[in-house]
Amino acid sequence: RQVRMHLRKIREREYSKLRALVPSIASKKKVTKVQVIEEAVRYIEELQSALLERLRQKHGSMAEDKAHETVETFVSRMMSQNTSSAHSNTHSESVPPLISHPTNSFDKSRNQTNFLSWKTRTI
């Protein structure tokens, strides 16, 4: 029972962190967990579109390659940080790389490019 309560507190804290990062819901008093996730996804899509537009303005037809390269670099950095913190962590769980995850049906039904689902290229 204590473990469940501890996990629940952790989950609530993480939802609060995510909620604080999403501008459309950060200042609202009552928001469901589903709304937090939906708005977070919407916000990520907006950021992705803004990034792609900025890259299109800067790199023209090479924008998608640059976007992929940017995301790939970011994910690599995050994974190396994750790996180094996992070694210092007492938990022995390993985190699989994000890029190797298959595209799920949610991603397939979306109309935007999911840069994480692209095949990994050698840089």
d(CA 31, CA 26): 9
- Which residue range is the domain that position 99 belongs to? 2-87+94-117
**pLDDT in the model for residue 113:** 52
At 27, list the tokens: 């200042």
The predicted-structure confidence for 70-122, as pLDDT tens digits, reads as follows: 888 888 888 887 766 555 544 444 444 444 444 444 444 455 555 544 444 44
At 59, list the tokens: 């790199």
d(CA 80, CA 28): 35
Is the pLDDT assigned to residue 5 strictly greater than 50?
yes
Is 83 part of a structural domain of the chain?
A: yes
Is 98 part of a structural domain of the chain?
A: yes
Contacts of 101 (CB under 8 A, 6+ apart): 116, 117
Contact 122, 111 (CB under 8 A): no
CA-based angle 89:73:92, to the nearest 5? 15
- For 52, 80, 106, the CA distances from 103, given in Å and listed in that order, are 20, 22, 8
Is 122 part of a structural domain of the chain?
A: no
Is the pLDDT assigned to residue 12 strictly greater than 90?
yes
Which has more confidence, 20 or 91?
20
Q: Average pLDDT for residues 1-19, to the nearest whole number?
A: 95
Is 123 part of a structural domain of the chain?
A: no
d(CA 123, CA 15): 35
The count of domains in the chain is: 1
The predicted-structure confidence for 21-72, as pLDDT tens digits, reads as follows: 999 999 999 999 999 999 999 999 999 899 888 888 887 877 778 777 888 8
Phi, psi of 104 (to 5 degrees): -90, 175
